[in-house]
Structure 1
């Protein structure tokens, strides 16, 4: 009889990513609703105070739970599955690169950029259908005509009205958005390497505070560069997008013409508020789960 003495590394990465996705979604979902509604709003200009007015409107007309937590199920499914797949593939690609170079050679920031970029692209293709449903649920009130009641209802409606193609609306800007994750993980790995080396002999064990500020700085860096793609993706995935835009290029052109540069940064405020707690929770849960799980069989 074979006795398992150590959990497989890919399994640890997958479970850590899955739990990180669930934890971050539960905390940050109301801000995700707010960000999505601002991103798909083409009528009002981007200005101070818009976010607070929108929160007040949602609470008054839809309720706290039904309004601010609308679309929680597809968001949780999307985040947990995305992070599970992402960390699995990211770790496998890094391991493959390390094996190719040999154990004596460390990975460069180019390698981290490549590993995170490929893992992000694979994850985006697999999870895009979930994000389409999530965007449409978050961008509309439950009483809105044609609003989806659940993931299964949204899946049936999209398939009947748009076919398989409907599940992949917004995929192109999502693939462009892979650059966000690539930049974030490249920065995170480099910051993490520098921090661990700041100890006699290297190998410094990172603390909770270390994980918080390392993940936060890397997220702000990546987010400040790549935010406009999220606006374009949300507009291509919203209800009646086919009647509004001919494609990603048309969405960019219309946004620029009607709203100017500020249109590409609508929802940036709540997004910045949202991404830092979400990022802190994601990376902290991920790193701590990786530390804890190998001890289960000790």
Structure 2
């Protein structure tokens, strides 16, 4: 007889499938779909973050877009580095949601184990620790992704693929090369922690407004709007870390910057405060649909996967 899986956000389903597996599959699927949808904006954002020659101004995104298309192989160049980006995002989301679910469950037990009695600080802590674990595990693939997005395929020394990137980094920089930019990434964990804290609270408030009870089945529009609001809130606070991480992970960063503190000083001295916000516009254009797609796919996969599994198990028994 199938066992009862603990409720997922207030939903109960009979299915012989682990909730942790559901979280991992939902996160993995969401990462793949979101990356395919918005990868060209990631290329533009990376190029803008590495542009230290020109001032931040309207039109820079279109200028770089035309330059990429003209000089690097038409529209296909906008998908340079797609594979490491897709691998990195899918694995990151899978690991993140897996740890996030388990940490929330542990905190739920700590708080008493009855109902949804977690506080904002609990969501912040679970999200923050999940982000740290994910950042440490996935930083090597982000280094390769950043370097592939920052150059055209035919540029001198450009990585041809993920294995080529791994081999080149290991040969030239050793193990430390895979963890360039980790410090800003760990600081960026605060972005995810703030976002998820806001998202969870917004979900509960929206559900309470509609039904007067705990979070249950919200609509797709709810997931889209709430994920967008939480992302804008978190991004408005933490964006500069992304500029620091990108510049520390690019080719030759070790020769240009002694440390993250040195990079901050150089940006402040040469570019001013606007230097910390380069690439913000394409980033907003990228992250809003990406976040909405990620959470929409994640929530729906998390909801339907146990039911699909239950139907398959029932069919097998019959």
CA distance in 2, matches of 1:102, 1:65: 55
Q: Which residue matches 1:170?
A: 181
| C-alpha displacement of 1:3 | 6.1
Does the CA-based 8 Å contact 2:49-2:243 persist in structure 1? Answer: yes
Counterpart check, 1:121 vs 2:129: no
Give a deviation string over 1:72-93, Cα, whole Å, max 9, x none. Answer: 0000000000000000000000
| CA separation of 1:213 and 1:145: change in aligned 2, threshold 3 A | same
Q: Which residue matches 1:278?
A: 290
Counterpart check, 1:230 vs 2:242: yes
Q: Which residue matches 2:110?
A: 100
| C-alpha displacement of 1:265 | 0.2
Secondary structure of 1:177's counterpart equals helix
1:9 aligns with one of 2, 10, 19: 19
Counterpart check, 1:144 vs 2:155: yes
Which TM-score applies when normalising by structure 1? 0.97
| C-alpha displacement of 1:40 | 1.0
Q: Which residue matches 1:38?
A: 48
CA distance in 1, matches of 2:16, 2:112: 24
Segments of structure 2 that go 5 or more residues without pairing to the other structure are 4-14, 312-318
CA distance in 2, matches of 1:33, 1:200: 42
Q: Which residue matches 1:64?
A: 74
Give a deviation string over 1:213-256, Cα, whole Å, max 9, x none. Answer: 00000000000100000000000000110110001001100011
Written as runs of structure 1 = structure 2, the 5 A alignment for 1:76-115 is 76-104=86-114, 106-115=117-126
Counterpart check, 1:157 vs 2:168: yes
Equivalenced residue count is 297
Q: Which residue matches 2:230?
A: 218
| C-alpha displacement of 1:199 | 3.2
| CA separation of 1:157 and 1:114: change in aligned 2, threshold 3 A | same
Does the CA-based 8 Å contact 2:2-2:16 persist in structure 1? Answer: no
Q: Which residue matches 1:258?
A: 270
CA distance in 1, matches of 2:233, 2:210: 26
Give a deviation string over 1:26-61, Cα, whole Å, max 9, x none. Answer: 011000000001001111111110000110110111
CA distance in 2, matches of 1:22, 1:64: 24
Secondary structure of 2:210's counterpart equals coil
1:130 aligns with one of 138, 141, 145: 141
| C-alpha displacement of 1:143 | 1.3
CA distance in 2, matches of 1:201, 1:262: 44
| C-alpha displacement of 1:201 | 4.3
CA distance in 2, matches of 1:122, 1:138: 24
CA distance in 2, matches of 1:237, 1:251: 12
